[in-house]
Amino acid sequence: MKFAFLIHPLEARDMVKKYPLLKPLPDRAIESLALAIKPKVVAHVTGIESPDGHKTEGYFVGVPLTPRQFMELPKETVYRKLVGAVEAAREAGAEIVGLGAFTSVFDDGGITLQKRTGMAITTGNSYTVATAIEGTLDACDRVGIDRKQAVLAVVGATGSIGRACAEVMSPEFGRTILIGRDLAKTEVVAESIPGSVATINMSDLVEADVVVTVTSSDSDLILPEHIKQGAIICDVARPRDVSVRVAKERPDVLVIEGGVIDVPGNVEFNFQFGFPPKTAYACMSETFMLAMEDRRESFSLGKTVTAEQVKETWEMANRLGFKLAGYRSFERAVGDDEIERVKMARQTVSAAVGG
């Protein structure tokens, strides 16, 4: 069956690429004019095929709203755009719609959109978490972290996604720090995860070799001074929990936002989103996989993800030939040079401790 996946500009300037006449205008003016543009199909995706012959094709549907507009506009204004996007997908023949970027975190994570349209909707969060975990564990190996001797920290541990990450990952590490806003609630989670401790202090992050952060905060939580030298941080949150200052001021740490996925078949996206050819975001890939297996269901819906859903998407990916191809960070692919730099930083620390 066919799929559609909703995308949107990450900043007002992105709309200038499609509409060059907007270039002289300030960002706010571009955003205002974009409100008059209807959502529409912007690319036809073809060639997705598993080794055993499961196939799908579909569409990227553009929603002309920036992240700022998702957060600032009246909900009904945003919903009109999203419903219009789903209807454009339906007209193109799609039977399941995946939500990308801020379309997936807006309001209740697709629940209301599903009710209003009757379309099968998925946020892609289950496979996003699966590949975030897979990518983080893989990165540990590549930069030389001995997980059984290392400390894991999960920020946002009382939320469903944070708890799922902690449940799946904690057995791999020597110790786990769970960080939440409410100490009592965080302690309840810690009681169910062996080898973990609860805290509400972000300063405790400096003990962690590996950090997974998954809060619903609307401001930067993890700053350069919070992070241990040579650490790996996986930021699954939207908006991001990790300050962009970390990328600028801490070249000794590796920040990833999940996996870059190698999509099976001779896929043609016919759209540039900053990844190498034939690779995609995990949230996109979850949508592709459900369509390949003719699953007209809202698999990942709302703001909750369970460990069982994470494991199911992992199994589905293995069945259909989707594989981790690399990492992404601040909306771009991570290069080998960045990984090597963090590896060197860890070796420097180890040498200093040994000396």
β-strands 259-262, 265-268 pairing: unpaired
Closest CA to 110 of 324, 300, 318: 300
Options 3.40.50.720, 3.50.50.60, 3.30.70.870, 3.40.50.1970; CATH for 128-259+329-354 is 3.40.50.720
Given this model, what pLDDT does residue 352 score?
Answer: 59
Residues 114, 257, 169, 193, CA torsion sign: negative
Q: What whole-number distance in Å separates Cα of residue 161 and Cα of residue 182? A: 16
353: pLDDT strictly greater than 60: no
- Structure confidence at residue 355 (pLDDT): 43
In the chain, DSSP assigns E strands to 3-7, 40-49, 55-62, 96-99, 120-122, 151-155, 175-179, 196-199, 210-213, 232-235, 254-256, 259-262, 265-268, 279-281, 323-329, 332-333
Q: Give phi and psi for 105, each to the nearest 5.
A: -100, -10
Asked if the model's pLDDT at residue 114 lies above 80, the reply is yes
Q: Tell me the average pLDDT of the chain.
A: 92
Answer whether 298's CB lies under 8 Å from 122's CB.
yes
3-state secondary structure of 287: helix
pLDDT in tens, 127-137: 988 988 898 99
Q: Which residue spans of the chain are classified as CATH 3.40.50.720?
A: 128-259+329-354
Task: Name the percent of the chain in helix, strand, coil, to the closest 5.
Answer: 45, 20, 35
Mean pLDDT lowest for which of 56-65, 203-212, 236-245, 282-291?
236-245
* Nearest CA among 160, 199, 202 for reference residue 176: 199
Percentage of the residues of the chain whose pLDDT score is greater than 70:
96
Residue 354: what pLDDT? 56
Q: In terms of Cα–Cα distance, which of 272, 4, 260 is closest to 119?
A: 4
Global pTM?
0.83
Print burial letters for 305-322: b (CB count within 10 Å at least 16), e (below 16): bbbebbeebbebbeebbb
The residue behind tokens 């180890």 is 350
Give 263-279 as a DSSP string: -SEEEE--S--SS-TTE
Q: What is the pLDDT of residue 323?
A: 94
Beta-bridge partner residues of 332: 329
Q: What is the pLDDT of residues 170-209, one digit of tens each?
A: 999 999 999 999 999 999 999 999 999 999 999 999 999 9
Residue linked to tokens 């920020």: 155
- Per residue in 52-110, pLDDT (tens digit) is 999 999 999 999 999 899 999 999 999 999 999 999 999 999 999 999 988 988 989 99
Q: Give the span between the Cα atoms of 164 and 3, in whole angstroms.
A: 27
* Residue 273 confidence (pLDDT) above 90: no
Lowest mean pLDDT among 1-10, 179-188, 237-246: 237-246
Collapsed DSSP state (helix, strand, coil) of residue 52: coil
